Amino acid sequence: MDWLYGSIEATIAAYLWPMARIGGMMMVMTTIGSNTTPMRVRLLLVFAMTIAVAPVLPAMPAVPLFSFEAYWILAQQLLIGIAAGFVSLLLLQTFVLAGQIIGMQTSLGFASMVDPTNGQQVPLVGQFYLILTTLLFFLFDGHLTMIRMLVASFETLPVGETSLNVANLRALAEWGGWMFGAALTVAISAIVALLLINFSFGVMTRAAPQLNIFAIGFPITMISGLIILWLTLGGIMSHFENTWNAAQGLLCQLLELPCRIP
């Protein structure tokens, strides 16, 4: 009877702890972890991935399931998965932030819509960049790359033996600051162009004070903003590629994988 109970515990553990790490990533991962993806779909994806990869993973630690150590291992696996999924979330929020900066500078920030990710009103330009970069993320097979990295992390971060260290968590926090720098890099051309336009309006106001600068400047700024968006759209691909390479480097550091990112 004890042998049967131990066999059942080992079988459950072989699927439970990998499912916790995979489920943690799917819970936070961009698009898949958002409110637009039904909970049942996410659960089915987690179950299918766990059943597919569990037989090829290293042996799980022989720890009783109903013990404090088992709960601690479960929390470790959730933390690893959440940290990996959070990287993809920061990746796309970089371009959302850039779109919000451009929208505020071009007076296009008045047009807003509900963000399906967090349910709040955000500028429409930010949502445009979010949709565009989401398509690029799946075009680059970002979701498949993250799944492959997470499965490989069971070798570098074995279940029950190691977890994310302080240096890796610090690198994840510092990448949030890097996100603001990358967003400014995407939006800097639009900011400079609109600064010149506003400077020209200031010269016009000094030369002809009788002109209503608000009645003239507002529509010209909006039209100029649309033109600037159109002209700078071609550089989004290179910006996304550089940001995605940086995100992969961070994932390799978090999961301690021997990656070579170009």
123-135: per-residue pLDDT in tens?
A: 777 788 888 888 8
Instruction: Tell which wins on pLDDT, 103 or 21.
Output: 21
H or E element that contains 123 = strand 121-123
* Residue closest to 147 by CA, chosen among 196, 81, 78: 81
What is the average pLDDT score of the chain? 80
How many Å apart are CA 242 and CA 98, to the nearest integer? 15
- Residue 115 has phi, psi (to 5 degrees) of -75, 120
Residue 139, domain extent: 2-255
Mean pLDDT, to the nearest integer, of 87-94?
Answer: 88
Q: Give the sign of the dihedral formed by CA 149, CA 150, CA 151, CA 157.
A: positive
The confidence score (pLDDT) of residue 120 equals: 59
**Count of the separate structural domains present in the chain:** 1
Instruction: Tell which wins on pLDDT, 165 or 25.
Output: 25
How many Å apart are CA 134 and CA 166, to the nearest integer? 30
The confidence score (pLDDT) of residue 1 equals: 47
Tell me whether residue 262 is in a domain.
Answer: no
How many Å apart are CA 74 and CA 169, to the nearest integer? 18
Mean pLDDT, to the nearest integer, of 189-216?
Answer: 74
Tell me whether residue 74 is in a domain.
Answer: yes
Q: Give the sign of the dihedral formed by CA 161, CA 176, CA 25, CA 58.
A: negative
Per-residue pLDDT for 84 more than 50? yes
Mean pLDDT, to the nearest integer, of 40-49?
Answer: 89
Mean pLDDT, to the nearest integer, of 171-193?
Answer: 84
- Does residue 247 contact residue 87 with C-beta atoms inside 8 Å? yes
Distances (CA, A) of 237 to 85, 88, 122, 214: 22, 17, 23, 35
Partners of 148 in beta bridges: none
Tell me whether residue 260 is in a domain.
Answer: no
% of the chain at pLDDT higher than 90: 1
Tell me whether residue 88 is in a domain.
Answer: yes
Tokens of 205: 């106001």
Tell me whether residue 13 is in a domain.
Answer: yes
Q: How many residues does the chain have?
A: 262
